Amino acid sequence: MSKIIDFQTDPSQYRHWRFEVDGDIAHLYMDVDEKGGLFDGYELKLNSYDLGVDIELSDAVQRLRFEHPGVKAVVMRSGKDNVFCAGANIRMLGKASHAHKVNFCKFTNETRNTFEAAGAESGQHYICAVKGSCAGGGYELALACDHIILTDDSSSAVALPEVPLLAVLPGTGGLTRGTDKGKGRRELAYVFCAMEEGVKGKRARDWRLVDEVVPNSKFDEAVVARAKDFASKSPRPSDAEGVTLTPLKRVFAEDGSVTYSTVEVAVDRAGRKATITINGPEEDAPADMASFQAQGAEAWMLRAARELDDAILHLRLNEMELGVLVFRTQGDPAKVLAHEALLLASKDHWLANEVLLYWKRLLKRVDMTARSLVAVVEHGSCFAGVLAELLWSVDRSYMMDGEFEGDNRPVATVTLSESNFGQYPMGNDLTRLQTRFLADPEEVEALKAHIGTPLEAEAASAAGLVTFAYDDIDWEDELRIFMEERARFSPDAMTGMEANLRFPGPETMETRIFGRLTAWQNWIFQRPNAVGEDGALQRYGTGKRGDYNMQRV
């Protein structure tokens, strides 16, 4: 699978989803084109999905948030008769590389998290209307909604059949959501996950697998009533104008580098690294939210988020051998803070809230990226406010200390804003500063005294905001040694080490989902019982069960 995967799309290009807006309720239909697989060699039968289907879903969810602020409830349903969704396409999983499978599962779950949080964070609630078979990843789509309604008929059922059929786990949160979110009993979940046929009707409700079961004759009526009920509780504005998410401006170079309007990705294949430079705003911050909204998708805070998001996804799926991502910034820290400050002061405005939430999701995506991450705080940089969060997402940071010969840029600084103390929590529900100073919470409180003050290398290092600060003599050698060292280490060992170190502190449903995906599914996807020549994924549909090595390891 060497095809370049593009995460940019829009409703005019959708092949698998469509949504219809009716006042404060939207209906989001999954109607997968069997012939529309992202790669050749499989058909997307029974509303099964691949990464291309999920890219469209991610886009639809994002557009419902930004382009349709008046939508207060979204009904997710199938556009096909007798099937809701059969889950991830098995032929695709059988053919895909290990790296593609794992990144596919990760992106899928990030998308689930986005609409799962939409109700609590944005007042846009998702209701899942299940009619027909709802299995595997299809049921996981439902689990991420606020409310699941199942029709009570002879064929509609929910199922997580991956273990008995495919020798893999429900890979995008099914096990975890079923017990943590649904609070189903553990031993009933154990029974459920061993049943190929799934669970129907009232038993599904009694086992807490769905929220509501209604007779088929009253199904549509019940779905609309529940959507109206959720919509009536939403604080979203009824008459607000949305913001159109216009196509990103990107230029791809022959060497793999990508240039956006605010983000540049420089690729060094020999060094197995990519350098991501985020350019701060050149213009002054808008005077108010009306001015911000008038700029639409060109407003710097929204534009930079969309471009960095696209760059991260592009590197994840299309540049898997670039093991080190280097984050740089260039620009005026004061302007970054001013652009962010407008949104922070206007959080009761729907658009300000959505842009800040987008940055929260984007920074979580950085946290979850399986590469060695490093930040370089050079002269002329603008690691301030939201961009400073990157310093505590990465595995290591370096900062220029003092004047450098021939470098006339403004001295390197780090500047905190109020946002660094709660606006962008990690998956563990702590801020990155709280996670950084887990043993010393008083250090976080002390840092609040520095809000708005540009901290040069000595002060930033003393405050624990960067890992190392080097002068002109040592700077280049120290960075070179680090980059060369990372390029030599085993990527498997580095991924495991970094995933363990990035999320200290309390566990949440989100960290458990991604931790189990990184560790267990990553491992299972390489086992011959699943992906070997006689494994379950390869034999699926042939009438033969997988031939398993029966050792417990």
- 32-51: b or e for each residue (b if 16 or more CB lie within 10 Å)? beeeebbbeebebebbbbbb
Q: Which string of b and e fits 496-534 if b means at least 16 CB within 10 Å?
A: eebbeebbeeeebbbbbbbbbbbeebbebbeeebbbbee
The predicted structure's pLDDT at residue 520: 80
Just give the CATH number of 11-232: 3.90.226.10
Of 334, 358, 328, 332, whose CA–CA distance to 264 is shortest? 328
pLDDT of residue 500: 86
pLDDT in tens, 288-304: 999 999 999 999 999 99
Query: Which pLDDT tens digit goes with each residue over 385-434?
Result: 999 999 999 999 999 999 999 999 999 999 999 999 999 999 999 999 99
* DSSP output for 404-428: -TT--SPPP-EE--GGGGTTS--TT
Flag the least confident range among 52-66, 225-239, 530-544: 530-544
Residue 486: its pLDDT value, please?
A: 86
Quick check: 22 pLDDT over 60?
Answer: yes
Write down the residue that tokens 């080190």 correspond to: 324
Domains 11-232 and 251-497 share a fold: yes
- Best mean pLDDT range from 184-188, 281-285, 533-537: 281-285
pLDDT in tens, 45-73: 999 999 999 999 999 999 999 999 999 99
Q: Which residue do the tokens 């403004």 mark?
A: 410
Q: What is the pLDDT of residue 114?
A: 97
Q: Give the pLDDT of residue 272.
A: 94
**Is the Cα dihedral 260, 266, 269, 272 positive or negative?**
negative
Contacts of 548 (CB under 8 A, 6+ apart): 167, 529, 536
For the chain, the structural domain boundaries read 11-232, 251-497
Which residues lie below 8 Å from residue 535, measured CB to CB, with a gap of 6+? 167, 527, 528, 529, 546, 547
Residue 374 has pLDDT above 90, yes or no: yes
CA dihedral 91, 92, 95, 98 (to 10 degrees): -130
pLDDT tens, residue by residue, 325-337: 999 999 999 999 9
Mapped onto helix, strand or coil, the DSSP state of residue 127 is: strand
How many CB atoms are closer than 10 A to CB 449? 8
**Is 50 exceeded by the pLDDT of residue 475?**
yes
What pLDDT does 2 receive?
A: 58
Does the structure show a pLDDT above 50 at 256? yes
- Condensed to tens digits (0 to 9), the pLDDT of residues 131-177 reads 999 999 999 999 999 999 999 998 999 999 999 998 888 876 888 89
- Judge contact between 131 and 152, C-beta under 8 A: no
Residue 1: pLDDT band by 50, 70, 90 thresholds?
Answer: very low
Which residues touch 435 (CB under 8 Å, ≥6 apart)? 392, 426, 428, 503, 504, 505
Q: How far apart are CA 523 and CA 335, in angstroms?
A: 45
Q: What is the 3-state secondary structure (H, E, C) of 214-255?
A: EEHHHHHHHHHHHHHHHHHCCCCCCCCCCCCCCCCCCEECCC
pLDDT recorded at residue 169: 84
pLDDT in tens, 78-115: 999 999 999 999 999 988 998 999 899 999 999 999 99
**Mean pLDDT of the region 357-378:** 97
Mean pLDDT, the chain, whole residue set: 95
- Token digits of residue 78: 């199938």
Instruction: Inform me whether the pLDDT recorded for 548 exceeds 60.
Output: yes
In this prediction, residues 457-486 reach a mean pLDDT of 96
Please give the Cα distance from 474 to 459 (Å, whole number).
19
Q: Report the Cα 537 to chain-centroid distance in Å.
A: 26
Closest by alpha carbon to 71, among 148, 127, 113? 127
Look at residue 522 in the predicted model and tell me its pLDDT.
Answer: 80
Tell me how far apart the alpha carbons of residues 367 and 503 are, in angstroms, rounded to a whole number.
Answer: 9
Count CA atoms within 13 Å of residue 212 on its CB side.
20
Cβ atoms within 10 A of the Cβ of 62, count? 19
Q: What is the predicted pLDDT for the residue at 385?
A: 98
CATH topology of domain 251-497: 2-enoyl-CoA Hydratase; Chain A, domain 1 (3.90.226)
pTM of the predicted structure, to 2 decimals: 0.96
